[in-house]
Chain A
């Protein structure tokens, strides 16, 4: 079965700083999803990457999928307190189900 490893597990940054979260897969990724979760709430879809080398941006968040399609990174530029939460990467399976990483807890200090 596919396993996803996220790093770091937790991250504390000062507001305005840039940060990167990584997601590494044990197998080739056919679809890589990034979600954000706030405590007590559901997962909010951020972005989906499918092609090797693909890069997508939304506001100050950029996600990339490497050429070999086994690693993705999520980069936040000039972080804000509103970026705080848990970021999860999910990999699409053959039956279209998602396997999730363990998540990265982001805290942004004002």
Chain B
């Protein structure tokens, strides 16, 4: 079984550019999470979808960040315009919602904004 797939694995861009990160959750999972990891702040939840519907986006830092989940097998996290402080590793995780269920993480996208 393929795990959570993220693309690209690495992204280097210049300040002001639009960045789109992509995630394919594990087939059959109905919850999807976007996290950001930095040395300063650790691992932070940005947004959480259940059955393609955003449930909690309180972790989204600013209006520059937006996330979509048009169907059960695809999600995007977009940053527009990007800033150097957005540099981080962005993880996507998925879970089969039920009782307390385990989240499975993708390999992450390392974003560098120059």
Against B, the Cβ 8 Å flags (1 = close, 0 = not) of A61-80 are 00000000000000000000
CA distance A31 to B104 in the complex (A): 15
Give the number of residues in B that approach A within 8 Å (Cβ atoms): 23
Give the number of residues in A that approach B within 8 Å (Cβ atoms): 24
Does B76 reach chain A (CB closer than 8 Å)?
no
Does B100 reach chain A (CB closer than 8 Å)?
yes
**Residue of A with least CB distance to B92:** A42
**Residue of B with least CB distance to A45:** B102
Inter-subunit contact A42/B91 (CB<8 Å): yes
Tell me the smallest distance from the CB of A108 to a CB of chain B, in Å: 22
How many A-B pairs have beta carbons closer than 8 Å: the answer is: 53
The interface stretch among B40-48, B63-71, B79-87 is B40-48
Inter-subunit contact B101/A96 (CB<8 Å): yes
Inter-subunit contact A31/B108 (CB<8 Å): no
Chain A residues in contact with chain B, CB under 8 A? 30-31, 33, 35, 40-45, 48, 50, 88, 90, 92, 95-103
